[in-house]
């Protein structure tokens, strides 16, 4: 609304002279304040637009962006303008409630990105928490070390249950029949899993964190990277699979339900499956075409098609 109103400043002034009932024309001071607020909101618009999209919701992308928004809100709270300071304070209050509920998991997601690991957490937490940064960093580190223990306990429970139920013996017998080759070391595999201790899992995470951080290259496939290191990091691979699958935005799911309401109504309840699919997926297809077209023009133009999507509750 601000972007629409600011270029029409002269129109509002002329309307005051031509329309007697129009008596609330903004003052020069208010126009200046509107411009200042608009400029500040532009700083976080691109970040929010990125996170609110339907193709950029992998959890590891979210941490640095939400930290950037937090940093800018903090600066606005210190703004000499009381209006901007109050606006930022209200935004910060809602943001902190959101941050307190998700920051540990999104920090874990960025730790599991081989391009960032703990380096990203240390960088942003030093900016966000200042003197308390080390304490907060250790909380994330401890959470990352405790998480593999939970996954190991789950695996141990499954193996013990399989052994107690005697499921391995029939399996071995079945391997001796037909074209299958017998596996005489199934009990050995189970013994290895049962004998693995917490120190082994911790050293797996230590080994991962001690490795050199990968360079930030465009188009890096973090899920593909974890898919190829399952033998080396079996527990961490399971954690990465689960953590990376957590959606960081409710916008895609909301837009699906919204589109469903428009496509399938009482009058259109007998649509053919192919036509219904086209109605439901047309937005994604258009976005893909827009992205290809805009790749050689203006990168931000493809995001305009998401203008009707809802954003994050803490900044509304």
> Any idea of the CA torsion for 37, 43, 44, 46, to the nearest 10 degrees?
130
Token pair for 106: 């999104």
Per-residue model confidence (pLDDT) at position 266: 66
How far apart CA 64 and CA 108 sit, in angstroms, is: 12
The three-class DSSP label of residue 239 is helix
Q: Is residue 6 part of a domain?
A: yes
CA-CA distances (angstroms) from residue 301 to 41, 255, 304?
Answer: 18, 19, 6
- Whole-model pTM: value is 0.63
Q: Is residue 114 part of a domain?
A: no
How far apart CA 201 and CA 208 sit, in angstroms, is: 11
How far apart CA 229 and CA 236 sit, in angstroms, is: 9
Per-residue model confidence (pLDDT) at position 186: 64
The three-class DSSP label of residue 308 is coil
Per-residue model confidence (pLDDT) at position 99: 81
Per-residue model confidence (pLDDT) at position 119: 92
Per-residue model confidence (pLDDT) at position 10: 85
Q: Is residue 87 part of a domain?
A: no
Looking at the chain, how many residues does it have? 316
Q: Is residue 280 part of a domain?
A: yes
> Any idea of the CA torsion for 17, 35, 95, 140, to the nearest 10 degrees?
170
Q: Is residue 17 part of a domain?
A: yes
Q: Is residue 287 part of a domain?
A: yes
Tens-digit pLDDT string for the chain (316 aa): 888 888 888 888 888 778 878 878 888 888 999 999 898 888 888 777 766 665 556 778 888 888 888 888 888 999 888 888 998 999 888 888 888 877 888 899 999 999 999 999 999 999 888 888 999 999 999 999 888 888 877 766 665 665 566 544 444 444 444 444 455 676 676 666 655 554 444 568 888 998 899 998 878 888 889 999 888 888 899 999 888 887 776 555 455 555 555 556 666 667 777 887 787 777 777 777 776 666 555 544 544 444 444 443 333 3
Per-residue model confidence (pLDDT) at position 128: 87
Q: Is residue 2 part of a domain?
A: yes
Token pair for 273: 């499956």
**Number of domains present in the structure of the chain:** 2
How far apart CA 36 and CA 30 sit, in angstroms, is: 10
Domain that holds residue 16: 1-51
Ramachandran category for residue 43: left, alpha or beta (phi over 0 → left; psi -120 to 50 → alpha): alpha
Per-residue model confidence (pLDDT) at position 265: 67
Q: Is residue 26 part of a domain?
A: yes
């Amino acid at each position: 609304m601000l972007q629409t109103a600011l270029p029409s400043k002269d129109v509002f002034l002329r309307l005051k002279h031509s329309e007697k009932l129009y008596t609330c024309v903004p003052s020069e001071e208010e126009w200046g304040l509107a411009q200042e607020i608009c400029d500040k909101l532009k700083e976080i618009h691109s970040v929010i637009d990125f996170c609110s999209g339907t193709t950029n919701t992998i959890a590891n992308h979210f941490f640095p962006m939400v930290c950037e928004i937090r940093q800018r809100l903090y600066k606005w709270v210190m703004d000499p303008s009381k209006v901007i300071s109050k606006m930022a304070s209200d935004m910060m209050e809602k943001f902190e409630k959101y941050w307190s509920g998700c920051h540990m998991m999104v920090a874990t997601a960025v730790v599991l990105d081989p391009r960032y690991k703990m380096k990203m957490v240390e960088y942003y937490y030093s900016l966000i928490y200042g003197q308390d940064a080390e304490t907060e960093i250790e909380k994330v580190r401890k959470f990352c070390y405790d998480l593999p223990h939970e996954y190991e306990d789950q695996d141990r429970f499954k193996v013990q249950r399989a052994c107690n139920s005697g499921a391995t013996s029939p399996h071995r017998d079945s391997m001796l029949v037909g074209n299958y080759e017998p596996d005489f070391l199934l009990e050995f595999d189970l013994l290895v899993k049962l004998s693995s201790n917490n120190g082994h899992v911790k050293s797996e995470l230590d080994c991962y964190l001690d490795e050199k951080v990968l360079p930030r290259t465009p188009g890096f496939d973090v899920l593909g990277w974890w898919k190829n290191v399952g033998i080396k990091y079996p527990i961490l691979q399971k954690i990465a699979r689960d953590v990376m699958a957590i959606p960081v935005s409710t916008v895609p799911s909301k837009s699906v339900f919204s589109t469903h309401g428009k496509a399938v109504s009482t009058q259109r309840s007998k649509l053919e499956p192919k036509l219904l699919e086209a109605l439901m997926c047309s937005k994604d297809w258009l976005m893909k075409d827009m992205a290809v077209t805009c790749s050689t023009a203006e990168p931000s133009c493809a995001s305009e098609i998401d203008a009707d999507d809802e954003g994050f509750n803490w900044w509304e």
